[in-house]
Homo-oligomer: A and B are copies of this chain.
């Protein structure tokens, strides 16, 4: 055979490339097939619909962020510091994605807008990571244990309170001057709120 076997992974790679080039409204399944040198029928063998293909490629994109952050939840060290670093790393990763490849970032922002289920799952992942760090902090005694419910509730609160610094809806603000100070203030406020 002249090329590698047609796998879901290769299709997703090509899909991302086509999305980057044409954007979410003009990228078609035919384009993806053309990029791979196959007929569009072959793509439909691996993904039932165009929507399923888009979901898979979006999932993959979101998972890359989860995987980047996962190590920070199992590290040793003071929970407070790890939480702060987790938040900074998330913001830095998002901002880099938005800044380095604005077309692709805008594309995925549009795609996620049509996929609340995928996004909710991703948020659950991230909130779960936060909850683990907060739980460590409670065990260490540095984070409060009454007053704010389960770690998962506190984690949701932290995630929502810092939304401005990771939610794509705010991407335009991430390059404004003063955003670093704003982020530092919110982190300070949130960490103070968690402290015992």
Contacts and interface: CB of A to CB of B under 8 A. Distances in A.
Given A162-B161, A163-B163, A163-B164, A188 B156 contact: no
Given A144-B192, A147-B192, A192-B193, A186 B164 contact: no
The DSSP consensus for interface residues of chain A is helix
A56 interface: no
Chain A, interface size category, equals 20 to 34
A187 B193 CA distance: 10
Interface in A120-172: 144, 147-149, 153-154, 156-158, 160-164, 167, 169-170
A43 interface: no
A194 interface: yes
B149 A160 contact: no
Given A164-B163, A188-B147, A157 B182 contact: yes
A68 interface: no
A148 B185 contact: yes
Interface in A66-82: none
A189 B185 contact: no
Contacts of A191: 193
Contact of A182 (B147, B156, B185): B156
Contacts of A158: 189
B161 A186 contact: yes
Given A156-B182, A160-B182, 19 more contacts: A147-B188, A153-B185, A154-B185, A156-B185, A157-B185, A157-B186, A157-B188, A160-B185, A161-B161, A161-B162, A161-B186, A188-B193, A189-B190, A190-B190, A190-B193, A191-B193, A192-B192, A192-B194, A193-B193
